[in-house]
Amino acid sequence: MKNQLFILCLACFVASCQKTQESNFKDEALSIIPEPVNIDLKPGYFTIRNNTAIYWEGEGLEAVAQYFNTRIEPAMGFSLSIKKGTGRGINLTLLDIEDELLGDEGYRLTVTPRNIEIVANQGNGVFYGIQTMLQMLPAEIKSNSLKKDVEWKIRSAEILDKPRFKWRGLMLDVSRHFFTKEEVKQYIDQLSEYKMNIFHWHLTDDQGWRIEIQNLPLLTEKGAWRAKRVGQWWTRTPRQDGEPADYGGYYSHDDIREIVQYAKDRFVEIVPEIDIPGHALAAIVAYPEISCTQTVTDINVGNPFYRIDENTMCAGNDLTFDYLDKIFTEVAMLFPFEYVHIGGDEVYKGFWQRCPKCRARMKNEGLSDTYELQSFFIKRVETILQAKNRKLIGWDEILEGGLAPSATVMSWRGMAGGIEAAKAGHEVIMTPNNHTYLDLYQGEPSVEPDTYSMCRLTDSYHFEPVPDGIDADLILGGQGNLWTESVPHFRHAEYMTWPRGWALAEVFWTPAERKNWTHFVKKTEDHFIRADFGGINYARSMYNAIITPFYDENSPMQIKLDTEIDGLDIFYTFDNTHPDLYSPRYEHVLSIPKDATWLKVITYRDEEPVGKMIRLRIDELKKRR
């Protein structure tokens, strides 16, 4: 009887332990960005060892298996064998019968202690499953050097996942500062790891022409190079007589083909942008005959020039369109994606108004103003692109004067342009600057590199691309845009992109109801660790205090302090000393002591400093009113 009672108690104890273990497993959250549609955690782990095999079944999956090998080998110190078929190990499979629930880009990932299985309708779905699996491995997997004594375990789970939007991208401006072929590849690598599928490549602007056009060689011989400058944008000195123009560069046809294939291997489409008719100073310097005045001789270096030096192609000259046909012939040959971006933004029309050829064009075409002349220009370019089986995208200014019949609008000046285009039945890509412009400040300006305006991590994360009352089917998705006037090198491009790019990845992939800011912050901190192992730069601006001066009707300036994330304590001083854990802690709105010169602020968490020391003169703070 005692033995039976002992066995019964033991069985109850084991069952209780199993339930407790399962409960603990259920409570353990995964740090996957973007958040999957559904995660069902299970007990146990799958461990990758040097005898683990990758099995593949389906066209193109052998390359995906090899991609996985290249990602894990530097840290693990070994490659996995790759075999066609199925077996015990890691299985990558394309479904014979399509699973409608997964759509074109979805996947199912099943991890048990014995096997891993990723199934999808198409290869990109398997690739995205690989990205999720990589994020489930220890953070050291991002390292490019061997990491010993790490157990390469993946948590058991069943994950069902697919994207909310089909357009999920980042834009990199390589005109203001040239980025090398290898740096462009790194950027594509980084965005693809977060299931983004669009790389918008801003190749031309006033400060440089970056794509070789063999039929117009001066575009790169002259247009790709400018005088070197540092310092604040729009305060620089123009190129001086005799000064060399040797700062810049361009991508040859071979470079572009290599990058296009590199992106294709990661299921990323490249959208080239040739910015016209404005933002064309580099092209006009190379071929002045396509301008109205033919007076510009130097590439802009970041000095003031708008409305002074012509940067707009002549809309009245047929030679302009002949040259554009040559340009887009080579662009279409190099870039297989169906979309080409033509800019169309910030077109100064003053030179058109004074140009005899432009005035004659307006008269002959029955155009009432220069806005209609711009519409004529865009529609004619659309015809050129359609002849090459390409679709036109433009910034929302292409709405002015009448939208080209089949154009897709990229809405950057808020959402209004996108709403107008969608109501007219046009497809829209939402990129409003207050949510998606990655060149803006992401925290307290006094401790950030110089730029303008503000787009915090919260602004990016809380972006909703589909406005109320708009047909969601017309909103293709969105992207983050990194303009590089104040981004002189690749390390800073990374700093400006991450973690806001992670936030946007979740906006464009994850169902709105699955998003959770508090959980995203925790995931972001985990991905900071991964970025450290990967040598990737990023901003920790979310930890810095937010300082807001304000005035009541009948009182002097007061100061409100806040934080972007929860769980931080704010300490401050007005007495010129550095605040720390023992300084006054912010509890309520601050009044400024008489004759105070400085406000200094720092954030702590768990009695450790996490934010930067912010030091502001009171007189400078008053100017923020």
User: Would you please indicate which residues are annotated as catalytic (active-site) residues?
Assistant: 205, 279, 346
Closest CA to 176 of 203, 200, 199: 203
Q: Which two tokens stand for residue 61?
A: 């999956």
Q: Which helix (H) or strand (E) holds 525?
A: helix 517-534
The helix-helix angle for 370-386 and 356-365 (nearest 10°) equals 80
Start-to-end Cα distance in the chain: 83
Cis (ω within 30 of 0) for the bond into 499? yes
Closest CA to 311 of 342, 271, 341, 352: 352
* In contact, 400 and 421? CB cutoff 8 Å: no
Q: Which two tokens stand for residue 130?
A: 């690989």
Rounded to whole angstroms, the Cα distance separating 113 from 491 reads: 39
Helices in 28-149 by DSSP H: which ranges?
61-76, 123-136
Q: Is the dihedral of CA 442, 447, 450, 454 positive or negative?
A: positive
Residue 598 in 3-state DSSP?
strand
Rounded to whole angstroms, the Cα distance separating 262 from 497 reads: 21
Residues 6+ apart with CB under 8 A from 595: none
Rounded to whole angstroms, the Cα distance separating 229 from 98 reads: 55
Helices in 211-349 by DSSP H: which ranges?
218-221, 253-264, 281-286, 318-334
* In contact, 361 and 412? CB cutoff 8 Å: no
Question: Quick one: the chain helix, strand, coil %, rounded to 5?
Answer: 35, 20, 45
* E-only strand ranges, 3-88: 38-47, 53-57, 81-84
Any idea of the CA torsion for 420, 474, 375, 414, to the nearest 10 degrees?
50
Beta-strand pair 198-202/269-276: parallel
Rounded to whole angstroms, the Cα distance separating 222 from 327 reads: 16
Burial class (CB in 10 A: 0-12, 13-18, 19+), 449: middle
Q: At which residue do the structure tokens 């991609």 appear? A: 67
How would you label 574-593 residue by residue, b for 16+ Cβ within 10 Å and e otherwise?
Answer: beeeebeeebeebeeebebe
